[in-house]
C-alpha cells in the first residue's frame, strides 16, 4: 500500500486555512499514487486548542471541517486527528480521535492514554478510550494509535492499560501512530527509541506522523518516520519543516536494502532551528511583521537579534541602543557592528538625561539614601518605557532577551528588561547562549567576537559584572539544570559535590523570585522543563526558602 506521511504546520482555530491545507495535501499525495494520507494528532482545530475545546461552536467547526475533508477523499483515504463528541452518558464531553475518512464516510479511533504531566493536560478535556479496534483498509489490518498510546512500551505505572497490547491480538499488518509531540532538545532521540521499541516488540512496520510548527511557547519539530519491520528507518522527514512523503509499505525487501538511520543533528543546531521557527510562527500566526529589541552590546541581545533576523528577515528587526553613563564605549560599538553585519535598522537614544531627571525628582523622597539596586532598576525601566513607546508608535513587537539563568534567579527588572511580547531565550541557559553565538558565527562573524569573549555585565553601575551578583555561569547552570530539569533537591545536589552554601543560595534565589516569572512573556520551550505552562510552582511557599 502506498501511504503518504503529511507533516504540516497548523494554526489553532483557523479552520479555513487548516482544512484547505489538508485537502490540498490529499490531492498532491493522490497524484503521487498515495492510497492513504496520514496527518497529525488533532490537526483539525490545531493543537493544543486548550479551553477552545470547551466551546460548542469550536467543536461544530471541527465536525464541519471533518465532513468536508471526508467528502473530498475520493481517490485516496486519509487519517486525521480531531476532537469528537462523547455521545455516552458518562465521562468527559470529548474524545481525542484519529478519524479515518474515505468517500464521505468516517470511522473513529479514540485515544486511550491521556498524558497529564509537564505541558500536557488532556484529562481536562478528553475521556480515555477503553475499547480498541483495528482499521481495515485495502486488505490490510492497521493498528491505529494516537501519540501517547505507544509510549508506554514497558507497561509503566503511569497507565493501567496498553493499547498496542490490546490491538496486537487482532494480528495487524501495520502500525500507524499520529502525534502532536512537542520539541525539546532530548525528544528526537527519545522518540526514536520509543518508536523502535514498538517495532521490535511487535515485529511490525510503523508509520509515525508528527506535526511541525510553533503554537506560542510549544514548538513541534516534525521528524515523522517510517520504520520497516526489522527496526530500520526507511523514511525520515526533516525537522522544523513541512513535508510530504509517499512510501510503499508492502515492499519490505526493498525497504531493507535501502534502510538508513535518521539524521538527528546536535543539540545547539536543534535549539537554533527551533527558536527560529518559534519566532517566525509567533509573528506569522498573530499577524505581526516587525520586531524590536533593546540592543546592549551583550551576548543575549546579540543572539536574540540574530535569531529574529533569520526568522523575520533582518530588515524587519529593529535594534534600539540605549546607552547610559555606565555603558562602555565598546558595548555601543559592538551593538552597531552587529546591526550592520545583519543588515538590520537601529537607532540610539541616550538615557543619561532621563535618568538624571528621575534622580532629581526622587531626591526629596529618597533623601540621603545611597545609590543601590533602585537606581539600577530605574535605568532598566527607562529602557523598557522607550522600547514600549517604539512598539506602540510603529507596531513593533518587543522581543525579550533574558536567558534562563537570569530568569531562574530573578536577575532581571520587572517592567524593565523583563518586558516583551515573546521571550526568545527564556529557556536557554547562559552557557548555551554562548554556544548559540558560536553556532551563528559558524560560517562568518555575525556577532562580534568581543561580544562573545567579554565578561557578561548589565552595565547599570561602574565596572559591574554579572559575577558580582551571581556564581560563575558554568557552575550556576549545572545547579539550575539539576534542580529545574531533573528536580534534584538540596540534599541530592550537595551529595553530588556542589558547595552547600552555593546550593542553598541559588535555590533560595530561584524560589523567592517565582513571582517575577509569573509576569514574564511567553517563553519558547526548548528544554524538558521550561518556565511556563509545564512548570507549576507556588509563589508563596516555605520549601527551600
Residue from 35, 41, 127, 235 carrying the catalytic annotation? 41
CA 76 to chain centroid, in Å, comes to: 33
Find out whether 354 and 383 touch, Cβ atoms under 8 Å.
Answer: no
Beta strands in 372-437 (DSSP E): 397-400, 422-423
Give strand pairing partners of 330: none
Find out whether 137 and 36 touch, Cβ atoms under 8 Å.
Answer: yes
Q: State the Cα–Cα distance between residues 384 and 390, nearest whole angstrom.
A: 10
Strand bridging mode 243-248 / 94-102: unpaired
* Sequence-distant contacts of 68-72: CB under 8 A, at least 24 apart: 68/19, 68/23, 69/19, 69/22, 69/23, 69/26, 69/44, 69/101, 70/99, 70/101, 70/102, 70/103, 70/104, 70/105, 70/106, 71/104, 72/23, 72/26
Q: Which three cell numbers stand for residue 119?
A: 505541558
CA 457 to chain centroid, in Å, comes to: 28
Residues in the chain: 545
Cell 499525495 identifies what position? 29
Q: State the Cα–Cα distance between residues 319 and 338, nearest whole angstrom.
A: 10
Active site residue 147: yes
Q: Give the sign of the dihedral formed by CA 40, CA 45, CA 46, CA 48.
A: negative
Residue from 122, 147, 310, 337 carrying the catalytic annotation? 147
Residue from 21, 111, 285, 488 carrying the catalytic annotation? 111
530: which residues sit within 8 A by CB, 6+ positions away?
217, 426, 427, 523
41 closest CA partner among 215, 174, 172: 215
- H-run or E-run covering 125: none
Q: State the Cα–Cα distance between residues 187 and 118, nearest whole angstrom.
A: 14
- H-run or E-run covering 77: strand 77-85
Q: Which three cell numbers stand for residue 141?
A: 489490518
Q: State the Cα–Cα distance between residues 239 and 213, nearest whole angstrom.
A: 10
Give strand pairing partners of 292: 318, 398
Strand bridging mode 94-102 / 105-110: antiparallel
- H-run or E-run covering 368: none
Look at residue 432 and give its three-state secondary structure.
helix
Active site residue 166: no
Find out whether 233 and 261 touch, Cβ atoms under 8 Å.
Answer: yes
3-state secondary structure 213-245: EEECCEEEEECCEEECCCCCEEEECCECCCEEE
Residues classed as catalytic:
41, 111, 147
Amino acid at each position: 500500500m502506498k501511504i503518504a506521511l503529511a507533516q504540516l504546520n497548523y494554526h489553532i482555530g483557523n479552520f479555513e486555512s487548516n482544512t484547505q491545507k489538508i485537502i490540498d495535501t490529499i490531492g498532491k499525495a493522490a497524484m503521487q499514487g498515495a492510497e492513504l494520507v496520514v496527518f497529525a494528532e488533532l490537526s483539525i482545530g490545531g493543537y493544543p486548542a486548550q479551553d477552545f475545546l470547551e466551546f460548542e461552536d469550536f467543536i461544530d467547526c471541527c465536525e464541519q471541517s471533518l465532513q468536508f475533508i471526508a467528502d473530498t477523499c475520493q481517490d485516496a483515504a486519509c487519517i486525521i486527528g480531531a476532537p469528537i463528541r462523547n455521545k455516552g452518558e458518562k465521562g468527559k464531553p470529548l474524545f481525542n480521535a484519529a478519524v479515518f475518512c474515505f468517500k464521505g464516510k468516517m470511522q473513529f479511533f479514540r485515544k486511550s492514554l491521556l498524558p497529564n504531566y509537564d505541558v500536557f493536560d488532556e484529562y481536562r478535556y478528553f475521556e480515555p478510550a477503553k475499547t480498541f479496534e483495528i482499521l481495515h483498509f485495502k486488505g490490510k489490518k492497521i493498528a491505529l494509535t494516537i501519540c501517547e498510546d505507544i509510549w508506554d512500551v514497558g507497561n509503566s505505572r503511569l497507565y493501567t492499560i496498553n493499547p498496542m497490547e490490546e490491538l496486537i491480538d487482532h494480528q495487524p499488518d501495520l502500525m500507524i501512530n499520529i502525534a502532536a509531540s512537542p520539541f525539546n532538545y532530548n525528544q528526537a532521540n527519545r522518540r526514536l527509541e520509543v518508536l523502535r521499541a514498538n517495532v521490535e516488540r511487535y515485529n511490525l512496520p510503523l508509520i509515525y506522523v508528527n506535526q511541525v510548527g510553533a503554537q506560542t511557547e510549544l514548538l513541534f519539530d516534525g521528524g515523522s518516520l517510517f520504520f520497516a519491520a526489522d527496526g530500520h528507518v526507511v523514511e525520515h522527514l526533516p525537522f522544523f519543516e513541512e513535508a510530504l512523503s509517499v512510501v510503499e509499505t508492502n515492499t519490505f525487501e526493498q525497504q531493507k536494502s535501502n534502510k538508513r538511520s535518521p539524521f538527528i543533528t546536535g543539540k545547539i543546531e536543534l535549539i537554533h532551528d527551533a527558536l527560529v521557527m518559534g519566532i517566525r510562527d509567533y509573528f506569522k500566526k498573530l499577524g505581526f511583521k516587525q520586531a524590536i529589541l533593546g540592543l546592549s552590546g551583550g551576548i543575549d541581545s546579540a543572539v536574540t537579534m540574530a535569531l529574529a533576523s533569520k526568522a523575520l528577515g533582518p530588515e524587519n528587526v529593529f535594534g534600539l541602543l540605549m546607552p547610559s553613563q555606565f555603558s562602555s564605549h565598546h558595548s555601543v560599538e559592538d551593538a552597531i557592528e552587529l546591526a550592520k553585519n545583519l543588515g538590520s535598522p537601529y537607532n540610539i537614544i541616550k538615557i543619561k538625561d532621563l535618568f538624571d531627571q528621575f534622580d532629581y525628582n526622587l531626591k526629596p523622597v529618597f533623601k540621603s539614601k545611597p545609590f543601590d539596586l533602585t537606581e539600577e532598576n530605574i535605568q532598566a525601566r527607562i529602557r523598557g518605557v522607550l522600547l514600549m513607546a517604539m512598539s506602540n508608535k510603529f507596531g513593533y513587537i518587543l522581543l525579550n532577551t533574558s536567558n534562563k539563568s537570569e530568569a531562574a534567579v530573578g536577575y532581571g527588572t520587572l517592567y524593565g528588561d523583563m518586558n516583551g511580547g515573546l521571550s526568545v531565550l527564556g529557556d536557554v541557559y547562559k552557557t548555551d547562549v554562548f554556544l548559540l553565538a558560536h553556532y551563528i558565527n559558524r560560517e562568518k562573524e555575525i556577532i562580534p567576537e568581543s561580544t562573545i569573549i567579554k565578561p557578561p555585565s548589565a552595565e547599570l553601575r561602574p565596572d559591574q559584572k554579572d559575577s558580582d551578583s551571581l556564581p560563575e555561569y558554568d557552575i550556576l547552570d549545572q545547579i539550575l539544570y539539576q534542580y529545574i530539569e531533573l528536580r534534584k533537591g538540596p540534599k541530592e545536589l550537595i551529595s553530588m559535590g556542589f558547595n552547600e552554601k552555593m546550593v542553598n543560595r541559588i535555590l533560595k534565589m530561584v524560589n523567592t523570585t517565582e513571582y517575577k516569572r509569573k509576569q514574564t512573556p511567553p517563553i519558547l520551550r526548548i528544554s524538558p522543563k521550561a518556565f511556563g505552562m509545564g512548570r507549576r510552582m507556588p509563589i508563596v511557599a516555605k520549601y527551600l526558602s
